[in-house]
A and B are shown apart, each in its own frame.
Chain A
Amino acid sequence: MAKKRTIRSIPQGRTPMVERPAAERARDFAEVTCGYTLDEAVRESERCLFCPDEPCVRGCPVGIDIPGFIRQIGEGDVRGAYDVLTGTTLLPAICGRVCPQETQCEGVCTVGQSLEPVAIGRLERFVGDRAIAEGWSSRPDIEPCAFTVAIVGSGPAGMACAADLAKAGCAVTVFEAFQQPGGVLRYGIPDFRLPNEVVDAEIAKLTRLGITFRCNTVIGRLFTLDQLVGEMGFDAVFIGVGAGAPTFADIPGESLNGVISANELLTRCNLMRAREFPERDTPLGVGRRVAVIGAGNTAMDAMRVCLRLGAEEVLCVYRRSRDEAPARAEELHHAEQEGITFHWLTDPVEILDDGKRGVRGLRCQRMELGEPDASGRRRPVPVPGSEIELECDTVVFAIGTNANPILGQTAKLRLDKRGYIEVDEELATSMQGVFAGGDIVTGAATVIEAMGAGRRAAAAMKRYLGLADPDVPYAPAGDAGLFGFAADQRDHARVRVA
C-alpha cells in the first residue's frame, strides 16, 4: 500500500447506495436498495484505515476478517474478498443485507468515531452478490469422515452449522418443516429486503457441499429426537428451530378476524405468495388500514409488506419511543420514508369489533417514559385519561415470539422455565449428542447471531465427535491420553474411522 491512510486523507462521506425512490418502491416487492457497483465499492473500501486494533472484527458476532476482505476489494480483487469472507461466513449476500451493522461492526468502527463508519454491510453484500452472479463457490477439499449429522431447521443457525460440519466431512441432513428450505430467510424476511433468489443461491451453495435438505419433515412429529440419535443412527444432532410461536398481547378483541400475527402475515405473503392471490391459492386478507403493533425488524417488515399489498394507510403502534425501537436503523428509516404513520408511546388496550367480528379500530393508551427497567430501557408508564382510538380494519401483532413447544412435548430435553432449550457452554443439551442454538435457546435475536450460534455448535459437535478442527493448527497435547484420545474429549467411546 502506498501512503498510510489517516482520518483526514480518506473520503469523508460514506459512498451512498442507490435506493429506489420511496414512492415507487413502496408498491412493489422488488428490492429497495440496489447495491454498490465495483467503483462504488472500491471507493468505500478506501475509507477503511486498517487500524491496528480492528474493533470491527470483535464487533462481529462471527468475527469476520473485515479489514482483510475490504483490502481485497481495494485491490479490485473481489474474488479474493469473497474467499476471505467465506473463511468465516457462508452467507455474505444475506448478512450484508440483514445484519444490524450499526450495533455490531459499524458501531465500533474507528472511522465512525469522527465520520460516518465504513459501510461494511454494503461492502459485504457487494461481494456476496458478485459471487452469486459469477457462480463462485468456495468448495474446500472435503475429506469425508464416517459421521452423519442431523440438523433440525434450515434457517440461519441450521445453515451455518450444516456448512461447517459438511466441510469437516460429515454427511449432513437438514430437516425442514416447510416445503422449501431457508427458515426465516424464506418465510419471514420479505423479498424487497432479501430476494428469494439470494436465499436460493445460498441454499444451492450448501447443496454443493453435499448437504441434503429434507423438507416437509417436522422433527418431534415425523421423527423424534430419540429416533434420530437411535435407530436412524445420527452421530450428532443440532437443533436450530427458531423461537417460532407468536405472542399476542392478551387484550380484548384478539380473536376477531383481521387480527393476525406478523408470522402469519409474512408466511402467507413470502413463502406462500399470497400477494399473488388468486393466481396462487393462499389468501391473505389484509385490509385498507393496518395497525402493526411493535417496532422491531419484524414489525417494519410487516408494515412495509402491507403497504406493498395496497393498504392505504399503515400505522405503527409502539409503547416506547423511537429511541427504544429495536428495529435496524436502516429499516426504520426506510419505513419512515415509505410513509408509515408512527404512533410512539402508544399502548393498545383493546381491539374494537365492527359488529361482524371484524376489526374497526384499536383503542390505545398514551404512555410516557419512566425509570429504566431490567432491559436498561426507560419503562413506559400510562398517562392517565389519555385513551385514543385509531381507526383500522387489520391489526398485526409483531411483539415477539415464544419458544416452539413441539420438541419439548416429544423429547426429554431440559427446558428453561420459559420453554427454551437449556444448553451448556458447549451448546450441548441435556440429551447426549444433541446440541442447540439460535432463537430456540436465546429467544428472538438476529440472523447473524443465529449463524454465530450454529457455527459455535458445529465446533462443539466436531469436538464431541473427535474431529480435528481445521481452523486450529495441530499441536500435540501435553497428555494425549490413552490411544491418542485427549482426556477432554466428551465421548471416549467414539473412534474416528475415516
Chain B
Amino acid sequence: MSVADVAYDIVGREDFSDVTYLLEIREPDLARAARPGQFVIVMSHPEGERVPLTIADFDRDRGTITLVIQAMGKTTREMQAGLRPGSSLYALVGPLGRPSEIGTAKTVVCVGGGLGVAPIYPQARALKERGAYVIGVIGFRNKTLVFWEDKFRAVCDEFIICSDDGSVGIKGLVTDGIKQATAAHPDIDELIAIGPPIMMRGCAEVTRALGIHTVVSLNPIMVDGTGMCGGCRVKVGGRTRFACVDGPEFDAHQVDFDDLMFRLARFKPEEKIALERWQQGCRIESAPSVP
C-alpha cells in the first residue's frame, strides 16, 4: 500500500539505570508542534500495542523529541532490549493532549517523582523562561535511579532532591520536600506534580491544606489518544473527563485518585501473561542450542 512513509528513527539513547532509558526520536514536525505537558503514543512494531508516553523534551533545532521510559511491562522491556540509534518505531503519533498552561504564577513548585522527573522538566524550563521563580522537588527510590539532576537543577532557582532511603538528598518522600519548600516560601502560587498516582495524591493532600493551586498529569490506559475510545476516562470534580482530550493535566484537588488507580490495574492479569510469555521467549532464544 503506498501509504506515505514517515520514518520515526531513533537517533539517541541513554540508559539511566537497569530499568530507565531515554530515547531520542527524529520527527521534525512533532518536535515543532510539541508543547510542555503533551504526550505521544508509540508502537514499536506492527503487532505491538499503543503506549502513551509523556514527552520529556523536544529540540526544534535537532528536530527530535525525547522520551524517558521505564521498563516495566512486556512492551517497555521489549523496547529497552531492541531499540537503539539506527532502529525505528513503527508508529509515533502526537503531540496529544492539551498543552500545560504555563500561566502567570510567580512562584511555582515543580515536583517530579521517579520517571515523572522527565515530563515535568519541560514545564520547569518553560516557567523559568517566562521568569517565574521555580522550586524543583524531585524524588527517587534511591541514588542509582537518579537522572537529569543537573539538567533539572539548571532551570530551578531552588532545588530539593529526596530519596526513600536517604542515599541522595533528604531522606523521605517528595511530600517532605514540598513541606520544606512551603515552609520557606509562604508565597507559593502553584504546584505541578508528575509521578506515580500515589505520589500525586500525596502532593494534592499537602497542598490542599495550604490552599495552593495544584496541577497533576494523569496517564491512564488509553487506545487512540484522540478522544475516541473513552478508555482514559477519569473522575474530576465528580464529572467524567477524557484524559487524552480534556487533559492530561487536571486540578489535583478535584481528581479521584482511587478511581484512577483502580482503572490502571484493569489489565493486570493480561500484563502478567504478556510479560511472562515474553520472558520465556527471551530465554528460549538466548539459550545455547543443544548439540
Q: What is the interface of chain A mostly: helix, strand, loop, or mixed? A: loop
Could you tell me the distance between the alpha carbons of A255 and B90 in the complex, rounded to whole angstroms?
32
Q: Interface size bucket, A side?
A: 35 or more
B1→A405 contact, CB < 8 A: no
Provide the residues of chain B in CB contact with A279, threshold 8 Å.
47
A264/B235 contact (C-beta < 8 A), A217-B93, A223-B29, A281-B49 known: no
A216→B91 contact, CB < 8 A: yes
B190-227 to A contact mask, C-beta < 8 Å, 1/0: 00000000000000000000000000000000011111
Closest 4 pairs between A and B when the two form their complex, measured CB to CB: A283-B270, A264-B229, A281-B49, A261-B230
B61-97 to A contact mask, C-beta < 8 Å, 1/0: 0000000000000110000000000000011111110
Query: For chain A residues 274-327, which have a beta carbon within 8 Å of chain B?
Result: 277-285
Residue of A248, A260, A282 touching B50 (CB-CB under 8 A): A282
Provide the residues of chain B in CB contact with A280, threshold 8 Å.
47-49
B235→A179 contact, CB < 8 A: no
In the complex, residue of chain A having the shortest beta-carbon distance to the beta carbon of B73: A281
Residue of B6, B242, B266 touching A245 (CB-CB under 8 A): B242
Q: List 11 A-B contacts (CB under 8 A).
A: A213-B4, A221-B33, A221-B94, A245-B230, A260-B230, A263-B228, A268-B223, A273-B47, A278-B277, A281-B48, A283-B271
Q: How far is the CB of B281 from chain A (nearest CB, A)?
A: 10
A431 at interface by CB-CB < 8 Å: no
Could you tell me the distance between the alpha carbons of A250 and B233 in the complex, rounded to whole angstroms?
12
Q: How far is the CB of B279 from chain A (nearest CB, A)?
A: 12
Q: How far is the CB of A185 from chain B (nearest CB, A)?
A: 14
B149-187 to A contact mask, C-beta < 8 Å, 1/0: 000000000000000000000000000000000000000
Could you tell me the distance between the alpha carbons of A412 and B33 in the complex, rounded to whole angstroms?
18
Q: How far is the CB of A8 from chain B (nearest CB, A)?
A: 50
Provide the residues of chain A in CB contact with B90, threshold 8 Å.
179
Provide the residues of chain B in CB contact with A285, threshold 8 Å.
266-267, 270
A215→B91 contact, CB < 8 A: yes
B3→A404 contact, CB < 8 A: no
A214→B98 contact, CB < 8 A: no
B271→A181 contact, CB < 8 A: no
B273 at interface by CB-CB < 8 Å: yes
Provide the residues of chain B in CB contact with A329, threshold 8 Å.
none
B249-275 to A contact mask, C-beta < 8 Å, 1/0: 000000000010011011100110110
A377 at interface by CB-CB < 8 Å: no
Q: How far is the CB of B81 from chain A (nearest CB, A)?
A: 14
B104 at interface by CB-CB < 8 Å: no
Provide the residues of chain A in CB contact with B235, threshold 8 Å.
255
Could you tell me the distance between the alpha carbons of A244 and B227 in the complex, rounded to whole angstroms?
7
Given pairs A218-B225, A282-B49, A397-B230, 9 additional interface contacts (CB within 8 A): A178-B224, A215-B4, A216-B91, A218-B226, A222-B33, A246-B229, A278-B274, A281-B74, A405-B246
B12 at interface by CB-CB < 8 Å: no
Could you tell me the distance between the alpha carbons of A463 and B26 in the complex, rounded to whole angstroms?
40
B245 at interface by CB-CB < 8 Å: yes
Q: How far is the CB of B161 from chain A (nearest CB, A)?
A: 34
Provide the residues of chain A in CB contact with B2, threshold 8 Å.
207, 212-213
Residue of B1, B92, B227, B265 touching A406 (CB-CB under 8 A): B227
B43 at interface by CB-CB < 8 Å: yes
Could you tell me the distance between the alpha carbons of A280 and B274 in the complex, rounded to whole angstroms?
9
Compute the total of residue contacts between A and B using a CB distance below 8 Å. 147
B240 at interface by CB-CB < 8 Å: yes
Provide the residues of chain B in CB contact with A284, threshold 8 Å.
270
A203→B49 contact, CB < 8 A: no
A283/B230 contact (C-beta < 8 A), A218-B94, A221-B95 known: no
B74→A248 contact, CB < 8 A: no
Q: How far is the CB of B178 from chain A (nearest CB, A)?
A: 28
Residue of B93, B229, B263 touching A263 (CB-CB under 8 A): B229
A389-420 to B contact mask, C-beta < 8 Å, 1/0: 00000000100000011100100000000000
Q: How far is the CB of B232 from chain A (nearest CB, A)?
A: 10
A242-268 to B contact mask, C-beta < 8 Å, 1/0: 001110101000110100110110011
Residue of B96, B230, B233 touching A218 (CB-CB under 8 A): B96
A357 at interface by CB-CB < 8 Å: yes
Could you tell me the distance between the alpha carbons of A36 and B50 in the complex, rounded to whole angstroms?
39
B75→A281 contact, CB < 8 A: yes
Could you tell me the distance between the alpha carbons of A409 and B98 in the complex, rounded to whole angstroms?
9
B240→A255 contact, CB < 8 A: yes
A217-246 to B contact mask, C-beta < 8 Å, 1/0: 110011100000000000000000000111
A272 at interface by CB-CB < 8 Å: yes
Provide the residues of chain A in CB contact with B3, threshold 8 Å.
180-181, 203, 207, 212-215
A218/B227 contact (C-beta < 8 A), A207-B3, A255-B233 known: no
A267/B229 contact (C-beta < 8 A), A255-B240, A255-B259 known: yes
B242→A267 contact, CB < 8 A: no
Provide the residues of chain A in CB contact with B259, threshold 8 Å.
255
Could you tell me the distance between the alpha carbons of A264 and B48 in the complex, rounded to whole angstroms?
17
Q: How far is the CB of A495 from chain B (nearest CB, A)?
A: 29
Could you tell me the distance between the alpha carbons of A281 and B277 in the complex, rounded to whole angstroms?
11
A150-193 to B contact mask, C-beta < 8 Å, 1/0: 00000000000000000000000100011111000000000000
A200 at interface by CB-CB < 8 Å: yes
- Most chain A CB atoms below 10 A, which of B262, B265, B271: B262
Provide the residues of chain A in CB contact with B48, threshold 8 Å.
280-281
Provide the residues of chain A in CB contact with B33, threshold 8 Å.
221-223
In the complex, residue of chain A having the shortest beta-carbon distance to the beta carbon of B2: A207
Query: For chain B residues 17-69, which have a beta carbon within 8 Å of chain A?
Result: 29-30, 33, 38, 43, 46-50
A204 at interface by CB-CB < 8 Å: yes
Could you tell me the distance between the alpha carbons of A340 and B278 in the complex, rounded to whole angstroms?
36
A212/B4 contact (C-beta < 8 A), A222-B30, A260-B231, A263-B230 known: yes
Could you tell me the distance between the alpha carbons of A404 and B226 in the complex, rounded to whole angstroms?
8
Could you tell me the distance between the alpha carbons of A259 and B205 in the complex, rounded to whole angstroms?
29
B96→A221 contact, CB < 8 A: yes
A272/B267 contact (C-beta < 8 A), A218-B226, A255-B235 known: no
Could you tell me the distance between the alpha carbons of A420 and B223 in the complex, rounded to whole angstroms?
23
B227→A405 contact, CB < 8 A: yes
B263→A255 contact, CB < 8 A: yes
Provide the residues of chain B in CB contact with A221, threshold 8 Å.
33, 38, 94-96
Q: How far is the CB of A143 from chain B (nearest CB, A)?
A: 21
Provide the residues of chain A in CB contact with B96, threshold 8 Å.
218, 221
B228→A179 contact, CB < 8 A: no
A222→B1 contact, CB < 8 A: no
In the complex, residue of chain B having the shortest beta-carbon distance to the beta carbon of A280: B47
B262→A357 contact, CB < 8 A: yes
Could you tell me the distance between the alpha carbons of A17 and B224 in the complex, rounded to whole angstroms?
37
Q: How far is the CB of A241 from chain B (nearest CB, A)?
A: 9
Provide the residues of chain A in CB contact with B92, threshold 8 Å.
216
Residue of A278, A397, A406 touching B226 (CB-CB under 8 A): A406
